[in-house]
Structure 1
Amino acid sequence: MPQLFYDSIQNDGVRIQYYRTGGEKYPLVFLHDVGENGLCWGRLVLLLEPEFDVIMVDARGHGLSGTPENGYKIDRHVEDVSGVIQKTGVHKPVVIGHVMGALTAAALGKKFPELVSGLVLIDPPWYALSPEAAKEYNQRLSNKLRQQVSVLQEKPLEEIIQAGKELHPSWMNEDLFQWAKAKQQMRLEAADYMLESQEPWEKILSQLSASILLLTADVSSGGNVTHSVAETARKLSNKIQIVNIPESGHNIHRDQPSLFWDALYRFLKNHHWPGIKGRKRFSLWPFTR
């Protein structure tokens, strides 16, 4: 892991922790999924740090961030991230979000378009469901996650890592360590973001002005975005590029890291960082299990 600077902001009475590699480089902001933390991006940071100022945020109720009294609504996550961007002073970063983080990134792009230049949305929870069906589905997901994490939190770290190996045998050890550590740190009520009212994703997407990379997974392996939803997204925005990553669940960047990196690299090269062109050492995922 490269050298990291640790800092935090206070937003609405909540401490929001973030980590930064720093330097006068093109900025990237990473937002993790529920039950994870900012350090879960591990190997990506190793690859990106030489040319990018990488900022990774611990969402409220996760990692070293505080426990809020006023809930986990996505709008509150948005205010947290906008506060980090403004404190660091970075200019129009690309914001990369995974599932819950993707919801936050998209909502950030809608509310504060002046703060971002691009969005990478990794398997966001976009569904073709009625509001009633979506509410029931999210309630089941929230309950399931709370139960799973509650069981894990009763175990020592080594046993959580072993449980992760059994669930995700293809993941690298450093990914499993941070995944396990994040489970220990998560406050269970953070899963309640799923139960909070949210604007329809279709409405948010149609109003985004930044360029967008949507990465989708195999629904049969746990991915959220179906083919029909992806096609709806394509019709709603002329800013969107959609890449399906085969043989991956919703942890695309861990299940298929090389394919994930290829898609991210091409998006950054084509839209945001012309200096990456011709730099062959960035074109391939160099890590092996």
Structure 2
Amino acid sequence: MATQLWRTDALMRTLTVRRIRTRLGREELLRVRRGVYTAHPSDDDDELRALLLRLPSAAMLARQSAARRHGFGVLRDDLVHIQLPADVPKPRLPGLVVHHTVVPVRPVLVGGLPCVPAARCAVDLARAVRRIDALPVLDAALRSGAVTQEDLLAELTTHRALRGIRQARELVSLADGRAECRQESQIRLILIDGRLPSPEPQMWVYDRQGIPLYRLDLGYRERRVGIEYDGLSHLDRNRLRYDRERLNWLDANGWRMRYFTDRDLYRRPQYITATIRAALS
């Protein structure tokens, strides 16, 4: 059940300023943020609800903030992003990012908070953020089940002539909900941009009896080339033992594995492309 919140003007219909101050001193009232109060301890959702109480009624969570609510918040951002119609003045509050829009949209409630619909949120981000970050958003949106490919394609038609629509349209055609992390999506895009075939995300490798044995981050089945991103989880001792056992089996069965780290991904993407091109040839 959502915590009840009151704006100052609502409290002053029944309480004097002195009584409000007295209750605050006794902690019978708690200030969630300036101008918004509650009688109970608040959580992060209450903080957002308190913020929305201070904003125009048309405000709704958007971009990174809405993506987190919809289940595909792969882009880190501590700011609160909201969307408003183009004719509504922009509020100026700390930690708030306002996006004006000329494309009308009805909010959906997610956990009691008004949000831009999932498909609109995904396409807005695909238009606005860097290309290397946009594909992970679309992949995660599909993986979360919040949208389908058809939803994204339909949403593209409402964004015609808007900035970044060409990037969004191209990346929607590449989006794949099988990708399980941001880095997998980014490596896949680097290879596609390097004019290599798109690798298969989360590809199962089968033994001679057709039983699925190991799953690779990315792979080219016909060429028996596998790709793995080594993040922090691979430093775990038990995980290392499992990885070595898996690598030995794959090597013995004709697979050529290639491993990449954050240094390769973010500092030398051309190395990834060259390494996989050589493995495929």
- TM bin (shorter chain): under 0.3
TM-score for the superposition, normalised by structure 1: 0.23
Instruction: Say which one has the larger Rg.
Output: 2
Question: Higher relative CO (CA 8 A, sep ≥ 6), structure 1 or 2?
Answer: 1
TM-score for the superposition, normalised by structure 2: 0.24
